[in-house]
Structure 1
Amino acid sequence: MPPIKWGECVKQHHEAQGVPAVEQSVGRKVLLHLVVPAAFYVLMGAIDRTNVGFAALDMNRALGLSGTQYGFGAGVLFVGYMLAKYPSVLLYEAIGMRRWLTAITAAWGLASCAMAMISTEWQLYGLRVLIGFAEGGLSSGTMLYLSQWAPERYRASILAIPITSISVAQVIGAPVSGLLLDLDHPLGMESWRLMFLAEALPALALAAFAWLHFPDSPDDARWLTPEERAWIRGNIKGASKPGAMPDAHATGARWAVLRDPVGWLCCAIWFCILASNYGIMFWLPQIVKGLSGLSAGATGLVVALPWAASGIGLVLNARHSDKTGERYLHVAVPSLFGGLGLLVADWAGASLPGLIALIIGGACTGCTVAAFWAIPTRMLKPASLPMGIVVINMAGSLAGATVPPMMGYLKETTGSFTPPTLLLVGIAALCASLTLIARTVAARAQAAA
């Protein structure tokens, strides 16, 4: 029996589905040369943003931080995020992906290294703002960049890969952070300081790689054939030049999204999605350790489980969304089940059913992220899309800046993690409701067209 040629089988399947050969080739090359490398940057950014959740297991005691002070320190990063979001994307449009990604990666790597030297809560706040400022445009700039290369047919699945790396960052970062915290004064320093330093250094190496690797436009991509370059320019919005989408430099086009109720609805949905995710990221290590009494290393392994399930669920959810063409239920239904999972986990406490519910809740909460981004690209006008992505991401930053401190205040004033958990449950329910409203709005707009 001759060997099965899987690549040929896939090619024949695409041809049977009417997918042009050049589109298949572009999709494969964009995945290999741009999407996978970009995912590493999102992964390292996620680790450097959220490893403070593990550092808090020892750092809070060492610096004398209360729950509210820690929550503020975790969330204040997103103040820098919001301040830098729009200027960072403008810089991306002006200088191109290669210079832009090199600059922001080097900046956040240096600021993250400095986290190993803090001694007061104000130093924590200041460096967290600087890290947020450096990373401010990373998510929106990466999404915009990849959307200008990715065929629409595969867009949700392609955008799911760098987004999935956020979950992968927790799967990798949680056990690594936990193991580093279990070390007894390595190199003569406190273990949480070594953790910050060790997890920041890779960002500096990635800065050098960005300068060497990322093309600003299809014309700069040596790995594309002339036919593939022409196909991208002719078939993908915004690929005609680096940075902005067509007509995006017109002031009216940029700010039209602020007058569009659909844009605000997308902002509200994204706020809820990231409020749930950041609430879990920054507080889950303390919740697990408080319930179980495990060591930091064992806590890291437990914390990794919901994020592993989330990464798998995110990819499967995005693929099913692409396959069916349905976007809204792929956000609403997981959000609802995510809230239910967190509710059951809080009720069950430190038990096997509680752990299973926590894994389900975390998986469902995290798997909505990639499916969501197919909604604004469908509902917003093309000229409004670049600014729409920025504004939507700013709403997500607002969620990160407000919800973790609120959870810290609730924990400090009640002495229990139940009120913060109920806050996340309510946000998940609101997310599901708003997404169903968006589905109705889109259906009416389509019927009226």
Structure 2
Amino acid sequence: MNQGSTGGIGPGSYRAPENAASERIESSVGGKVVRHLVIPAALYILIGAIDRTNVGFAALEMNKALGLSGTQYGFGAGVLFVGYMIAKYPSVLLYEAIGLRRWLTLITAAWGLCSCLMAAVANEWQLYALRVLIGFSEGGLSSGLMLYLSLWAPERFRATILAIPIASISIAQVVGAPISGLLLDLDRPLGLESWRFMFLVEALPALALAAFAWLHFPDTPADARWLTATERDWIAANVKGARKPAPGQGAERWAVLRSPEGWLCAAIWFCILASNYGIMFWLPQVVKSLSGLSSAMTGVIVALPWAASGIGLVLNARHSDRTGERYLHVAIPAVVGGAGLLLAYIFGAGLPGLVALVIGGACTGCTVAAFWAIPTRLLSPGALAMGIVAINMTGSLAGATVPPLMGYLRETTGSFLPPALLLCGIAVVCACLTLVARRVAARAEAQ
């Protein structure tokens, strides 16, 4: 484990640049990385999030058209992550072998094509198969892009830089929810059922992004024409992810699987994504069930907590960067978020329920970026790549298990209260595990 200056938990754990010139280079690199890489990467994660989660809106019409039960829908929503888990590590190995540009072009074109085919689904088995294929083709996207950005992101800006693409997941719901709702309210566009038309329209941007990936992204900092030679040298010397592992560190790629710190990070990430995916796949049905609104208005209501989540995520990450504290920036929002979601269901469709929903969604979503600053502190350069993959695989496991479990609870009880209690309990476990990680980091720093 890395127990150097990046392993602490307080503001003093960050070493300031040695001189003003280094600080200017660091700020310049951070700004260029955001403009040229982080914002474009966020667009890919945004479109991927829409194509993964728009099934939650399609369910408002699709479940009846295909005769799906709550359990069948939940399984169809979650089975995507089986493909994710199968493809995640091979996808990152492929990225390391052929470079970001070729890799991103390939997987974006594949998931765009599979998403288009969702418009032709005729039964639950075709739904399951295509969801697995979307997960398989998109598997490794978030892991690969996070690993890619770790080659460029200065430590001082890391949580903020990683917050931008992660915030795009919330933005995807803010943008995608109203659009999906409006498309569902159309009367047989092009002779298609509205949910089929929605899948077709929302898959097209992925195909366009495949061409953009080939034209835009450099594979490494050495290939970036928009960096000066001094800035390239600075990244090579100062960015943890860009440094080659020292002799003997290659074995750490697999040693992380035996690391308690690595598994602790993975368990926290499981809880974070369990809460987020539970909201993504079931919130449209919960809102429509409680309110009786049209699909378009349901989309507007669903967008509100995600808008608050995107804002909260960035603010939480920036405050975490300023203070140097990472762990409470995960634990506190997790507990508040879980309580807010439970209260939203208890209060129902009125204003108190809407306020609780917005607060719960905001806090649940804003844990994500602050979390990703934790593994980069606890794991060494040699273990980081495999650690990120292992952590993301547990997130895929959360997506594969929690939405189907919520569907089963909803179907067997006839109420959304048991699923809400499940998400609240997961949030409490997340907070407890994060506080354990804080103690582990403090002990490592003291050694």
Q: What TM-score, normalized to structure 2?
A: 0.94
Quote the RMSD (CA, aligned, Å).
Answer: 1.6
Deviation at 1:229, TM superposition (A): 1.0
Contact 1:248 1:254 in 2 (8 A): no
**1:277 corresponds to:** 276
Which of the pair has the greater relative contact order for Cα pairs under 8 Å at 6+ separation? 2
Pair 1:20-2:23 in alignment: yes
Whole-Å Cα distance in 1 between the matches of residues 70 and 403 of structure 2?
A: 10
Identify the residue that residue 419 of structure 1 maps to in structure 2.
Answer: 418
Q: How does 1:230-269 map to 2 (within 5 A)?
A: 230-239=233-242, 246=245, 252-269=251-268
| Structure 1 partner of 2:45 | 42
Gaps of 5+ in 1: 1-13
Counting only pairs closer than 5 Å after superposition, residues 68-217 of structure 1 correspond to structure 2 as 68-217=71-220
Cross-structure match for 2:443 = 444
Cα separation, 2, equivalents of 1:310 and 1:247: 39
Q: Corresponding residue for 2:354? A: 355
Residue of structure 2 equivalent to 1:365? 364
**1:390–1:190 distance in 2 versus 1, CA, 3 Å:** same
Q: Deviation of residue 381 (structure 1)? A: 2.1
State the distance in 2 between where 1:229 and 1:301 align: 44
Change (3 A) 1:248 1:149: farther
Deviation at 1:143, TM superposition (A): 0.4
Question: Deviation per CA, 1:359-397, whole angstroms, max 9, x where unpaired?
Answer: 110110000000000011111122111100000000000
User: Counterparts of 1:140 and 1:28 in 2: how far apart (Å)?
Assistant: 22
Partners in 2 of 1:361 and 1:230 — Cα distance? 44
Q: Give the superposition deviation at 1:74.
A: 0.2
In structure 2, the gaps of 5 or more residues are: 1-16
CA contact (8 A) 1:178 1:296 kept: yes
Please state how far the C-alpha of 1:446 moved relative to its aligned partner.
1.1
Question: 1:248–1:386: 8 Å Cα contact kept in structure 2?
Answer: no
Judge conservation of contact 2:251–2:382 (CA < 8 Å) in 1.
no
* Displacement after TM superposition at 1:17 (Å): 8.2
Q: Distance in 1 between matches of 2:18 and 2:445?
A: 30
Shift of 1:19: 5.9
Task: State the Cα distance separating 1:281 from its structure 2 match.
Answer: 0.2
Q: Distance in 1 between matches of 2:242 and 2:346?
A: 50
Please report how far the alpha carbon of residue 443 of structure 1 lies from its aligned counterpart in structure 2 after TM superposition: 0.9
State the Cα deviation string for residues 18-65 of structure 1 (Å, max 9, x = none). Answer: 862111111111111000000000000000000000000000000000
Query: Would you say the 8 A contact 2:250–2:382 is kept in 1?
Result: no
Distance in 2, matches of 1:441 and 1:345, equals: 34
Deviation at residue 16 of structure 1 after TM alignment? 10
Cα distance in 1 for partners of 2:18, 2:184 equals 52
Shift of 1:346: 1.6
Q: Is 1:316 matched with 2:319?
A: no
Map of 2:398 onto structure 1: 399
In the alignment, what sits opposite 2:343? 344
SS of residue in 2 equivalent to 1:20: helix
Structure-2 separation of matches of 1:251 and 1:164: 32
Q: 2:60 aligns with which of 57, 60, 65?
A: 57
CA, structure 1 residues 143+249, in 2 after alignment: closer, same or farther (shift >3 Å)? farther
Post-superposition offset of 1:87: 0.1
Kindly state the Cα deviation for residue 230 of structure 1 after the two structures are TM-superposed. 1.0
Contact between 2:151 and 2:221, CA under 8 Å: does it hold in 1? no
Q: 1:246 to 1:302 in 2, by over 3 A?
A: same
Residues 1:72 and 1:22: Cα distance change in structure 2 (over 3 Å): same
Counterpart-to-counterpart distance in 1, 2:207 and 2:249? 36
Deviation of 1:250 (Å): 6.9
Residue number in structure 2 paired with 1:11 = none
- Contact conserved, 1:248 with 1:384, CA < 8 A, in 2? no
Structure 1 Cα separation of the partners of residues 229 and 52 of structure 2:
40
Q: 1:28 to 1:15 in 2, by over 3 A?
A: farther
CA separation of 1:338/1:17 partners in 2, compared to 1, >3 Å: closer, same or farther? farther
Task: Say how many residue pairs are matched.
Answer: 431
Determine the structure 2 residue equivalent to 1:300. Answer: 299
What corresponds to 1:29 in structure 2? 32
Structure 2: how far apart are the matches of 1:321 and 1:224? Answer: 28
When residues 76 and 95 of structure 1 are mapped into structure 2, their CA distance, relative to the original with a 3 A threshold, is: same
Matched, 1:390 2:389: yes
Q: What is the deviation of 1:344? A: 1.1
Which letter does structure 1 place at the counterpart of 2:358? I
Could you say if the C-alpha distance between residues 46 and 247 of structure 1 is closer, same or farther in structure 2, counting changes exceeding 3 Å?
farther
Q: Give the percent of matched residue pairs that are identical in Structure 1 and Structure 2.
A: 77
Structure-2 separation of matches of 1:260 and 1:329: 22
Q: 1:249: how far off?
A: 10
The answer for the alignment partner of 2:3 in structure 1 is none
- Contact 2:249–2:383 (8 Å) recurs in 1: no
Deviation at 1:251, TM superposition (A): 6.0
2: distance between equivalents of 1:162 and 1:249? 33
Residue 309 of structure 2 contacts residue 364 of structure 2 at CA under 8 Å; is this kept in 1? Answer: yes
Give distance in 2, aligned partners of 1:294 and 1:228: 54
Q: 1:352 to 1:77 in 2, by over 3 A?
A: same
Equivalents in 1 of 2:402, 2:20: separation in Å?
45
Any conservation in 1 of the 2:181–2:299 contact (CA below 8 Å)? yes
- In 2, the alpha carbon distance for the partners of 1:167 and 1:212 equals 27
Using the TM superposition, give the Cα deviation of residue 254 of structure 1 relative to its aligned residue in structure 2, in angstroms.
Answer: 1.3
Query: How far has the Cα of 1:285 moved from its partner?
Result: 0.0
Q: After TM superposition, give the deviation of residue 165 of structure 1 in Å.
A: 0.2
